[in-house]
Amino acid sequence: MTELRSRGLTRRALLAHAVVAGAAFSIGSGFVAARDAAWALEVTNLKPETMATLIQMARDVYPHDKVADNFYAIAVKGYDTAEDAAAIEAGVAALDAAAQGAGYANYLAVGWESDRVAILKGMENSPFFQTIRGGLVTGLYNQKEVWPIFGYQGESYSQGGYIHRGFDDISWL
Amino acid sequence: MVAKFDLNDDSVVVIVGSGAGGGVLANELAQKGVKVVSIEAGGRYLPEDYINDEWASFQQLAWTDMRTTSGDWRVARDFANLPTWIVKAVGGTSIHWAGASLRFQDHEWKAKTTYGPISDANLLDWPIDTAEMDPWYTKAEHKLGVTRTEDRAGLPPSNNYKVFEAGAKAIGYKDVHTGRMAINSAEFDGRSACQQTGFCFQGCKWGAKWSTAYTDIPRGEATNNLEVRDRCFAVKIEHDDKGKVTGVVYIDADGKQQLQKARVVSVACNAIESPRLLLNSASSMFPDGLANSSGQVGRNYMRHTTGSVYAVFDKPVSMWRGTVMAGYIGDERHHDPNRGFVGGFEFETLSLGLPFTAAFLDPGAWGREFTSALDSYQNMAGLWIVGEDMPRETNRVTLNTDVKDTNGLPVPNVHFDDHPNDNAMRDYAYKKGEEMYRAVGATRVFPTPPYPSTHNLGTNRMSEKPQDGVVNKWGQSHDVANLFVSDGSQFTTGGAENPTLTIVALAIRQADHIAGELSKGNL
């Protein structure tokens, strides 16, 4: 992601600036990044830990092992607004509280997906959960860059349709 | 130069809505020399404007005005403010429809007689039948260029169809083919042949699928007898002290209220807005709404018994390539109560792109059970169930006075409870659909719930007797002689067939009747 360069952070600088390292993410002042520094996301309204938790939550709600974290980050980065910040911080605080109730330091510290899913199940009827889940339906699956991972080719009009591009090419029946 | 009629010209026929019903009626009347003003809530979009991207197209075309829902149907839970998936544009839902063009079966005109008493259903025979409708269906099939009618070939089999056909034949179905489709298998009527582009629901960019948007509407305009006013929202039908309608009040594109005077008014704005407009036109003379002495306006809402079956295989299908509705099975469309329900249904192939599969495969679902299905998207095949549902007086469109639209009018509430017959049919169809796909090696099958309704029917139904329905066999109000209904809301019962062909046949027939009555001075 371009945010990395715009801040003038090199990979080495990024890793040096990371003050909290969760299992999946590097979390520094004003940013969340991949542990391998493949991408970084600036946050201005949310706490970086909150954004990291949201990204993890997004993956736990719609887990696709072939879809990299940056697509989940793109799907939730829109919540980093002055308007949404209070509700999102409160929602993530509730998520962390639930994790603490289950004996973990916070949500990001829960190692197994099934344990995180159990925590999410406990709050799946909350407006916070439903907002995040509903937003992901378009936020994640409507990213054109995600489609090829699922084999979906999208529009074909610009190439004359699928009439000569495999609409009837099934061979295994 | 397209016609422009004066607001005070009370010689015109005003038609509200420009889809399969209103758009055809407008053109057919215009061809006969009748002056028509078409009031259309949506804007004008032509094939070059359509967007082959599911969500972007939905933003462009879908009717997303505020609506509310109630009842036990799952749509009320998953899509509480989106009971329908229809279009707000010149051309209406004829832009979105998949193109399946089937005639009603003989028994479906006589549902009450054929099925006998069904508790909690408000069945009624139509006042018309196969013999009456046959010639009009022939005209409709010709207009739409329906494949497998006259000398037109069927569409070629796609991947999704081939899986569907192999499964169907494996479990003994015989009436299986690529459908009777209003999608050109060869160039017809100045429109291109299908290029298997997909995105039929988003408007056909080739114009290979029939829609009033680029056929009847421009042809009607070319006669100089039709003026289409787009982005104009009808809010009330006015009448005089003799109880005849005199004009339509609408909010124009600039937000100004206008009154177009009329000799005849036709309501054709889909089975949610049509009863809403009649109910919102209540007056001291018609306190329960216009044309509503029977109390049936808004009642008997039907949406077809639908559902989808998606199946995952161990190898690719690529169902998104090609026409969306690419196949048909007719073996279950007859009436045979031994199956545990009355009426019948068809199977038709269906495919959604990845974004809409994520939204509609199992709305609200999350976690690996759901996402592992999407991981197999490329290996997925799909079909749609479309069957006859039971009209019920309690399934109805009412005015929700607690919620107002941008014009300050009460929004429609759509209440729907599935009838036990609907559930029995759907469960049977899910089982047969699963059998089909298992028979050709499906490793996983998804009985997918109904989408927001595209087939909206019955809310101004046709009846022989005035106390049983809203309009007579011509779609003419029992109460108000110069008021007509021209869309799917006039359906007495739904049949098992996709409704557009019947809507078009009825509109051609109605135009003939209205023009005749006008020339005789009876209207």
Which pLDDT value is given to residue A24?
Answer: 78
Size of interface A-B (CB pairs under 8 A): 114
Which domain range does residue A82 map to? 45-147
Residue A155 within any structural domain of the chain: no
What is the residue extent of each domain of chain B? 13-520
Q: Report helix angle B500-520 to B22-31, nearest 10.
A: 40
**Which among A63, A152, A167 is the nearest to B322, CB-wise?**
A167
Outline where DSSP puts E strands in chain A.
Answer: 20-21, 25-28, 31-34, 40-42
**DSSP percent split of chain A into helix, strand, coil, nearest 5:** 50, 10, 40
Residue A19 within any structural domain of the chain: no
Give A62's contacts in chain B (Cβ within 8 Å).
366, 370-371
| Dihedral angle sign, alpha carbons of residues B268, B273, B279, B282 | negative
Structural tokens at position B307: 């559902």
- Please tell me whether residue A111 adopts helix, strand or coil conformation: coil
Distance CA B104, CA B495 (A): 6
- pLDDT bracket for residue B136 (50, 70, 90): very high
Give B205's contacts in chain A (Cβ within 8 Å).
157
Q: Are B471 and B111 in contact (CB under 8 A)?
A: no
Phi, psi of B242 (to 5 degrees): -95, 0
Residue A59 within any structural domain of the chain: yes
Measured CB to CB, residues of chain A less than 8 Å from chain B are 61-64, 66, 117, 124, 133, 137-138, 140-142, 146-147, 150-157, 160-163, 165-170, 172-173
- pLDDT bracket for residue B155 (50, 70, 90): very high
Verify whether the Cβ–Cβ distance A161 to B196 is below 8 Å. yes
Identify residue B81 by its one-letter amino acid code.
N
| Closest chain A residue to B362, measured at CA | A137
Structural tokens at position A28: 């520094």
Selecting from 2.40.50.140, 3.40.50.2300, 3.40.228.10, 3.50.50.60, what CATH number does the domain B13-520 have?
A: 3.50.50.60
Verify whether the Cβ–Cβ distance A62 to B366 is below 8 Å. yes
Residue with tokens 């404007």: B49
- The mean pLDDT value for B29-43 works out to 98
Q: Are B37 and B105 in contact (CB under 8 A)?
A: no
| Closest chain A residue to B158, measured at CA | A168
H helix or E strand, kind and range, residue B495: none
Structural tokens at position B318: 């690529």
Distance CA B269, CA B456 (A): 11
Which pLDDT value is given to residue B1?
Answer: 61
Total-model pTM: 0.96
Which pLDDT value is given to residue A8?
Answer: 53
Res B499 pLDDT > 80? yes
| Domain count within chain A | 1
* B346 bridge partner residues: B386
Res B78 pLDDT > 60? yes
Q: Which of B378, B303, B309 minimizes the C-alpha distance to B347?
A: B309
pLDDT digits (tens, 9 = 90+) for B220-232: 999 999 999 999 9
- pLDDT bracket for residue B162 (50, 70, 90): very high
**Which among B163, B194, B368 is the nearest to A63, CB-wise?**
B368
Verify whether the Cβ–Cβ distance A162 to B206 is below 8 Å. no
Of residues B323 and A15, which shows the higher confidence score?
B323
| Closest chain A residue to B323, measured at CA | A167
Verify whether the Cβ–Cβ distance A156 to B198 is below 8 Å. yes
| Dihedral angle sign, alpha carbons of residues B410, B411, B417, B422 | positive
Structural tokens at position B337: 């109560």
Chain A: nearest CA to B207, how far in angstroms? Answer: 12
Phi, psi of B55 (to 5 degrees): -75, -40
Which pLDDT value is given to residue A4?
Answer: 47
On the CB side of A153, how many CA atoms lie within 13 Å of its CA?
Answer: 20
ipTM summary value: 0.94
Res B275 pLDDT > 60? yes
| Closest chain B residue to A59, measured at CA | B367
Measured CB to CB, residues of chain B less than 8 Å from chain A are 52-55, 156-159, 162-163, 166, 194-199, 205-206, 315-318, 320-322, 353-355, 358-359, 364, 366-368, 370-371, 374-375, 377-378, 440
**Which among A63, A141, A170 is the nearest to B355, CB-wise?**
A141
Residues in chain B: 523
- The mean pLDDT value for B336-365 works out to 97
| Dihedral angle sign, alpha carbons of residues A45, A50, A55, A61 | negative
Which pLDDT value is given to residue B264?
Answer: 98
Q: Are B267 and B484 in contact (CB under 8 A)?
A: yes
Q: Which residues of chain A have pLDDT under 50?
A: 1-2, 4-6
Which pLDDT value is given to residue B494?
Answer: 98
Verify whether the Cβ–Cβ distance A141 to B374 is below 8 Å. yes
Q: Are A24 and A46 in contact (CB under 8 A)?
A: no
Distance CA B175, CA B446 (A): 24
- The mean pLDDT value for B92-105 works out to 98
| Average pLDDT of chain B, as a whole number | 98
pLDDT digits (tens, 9 = 90+) for A63-92: 999 999 999 999 999 999 999 999 999 999
Q: Are A67 and A146 in contact (CB under 8 A)?
A: yes
- The mean pLDDT value for B3-15 works out to 97
| Closest chain B residue to A139, measured at CA | B355
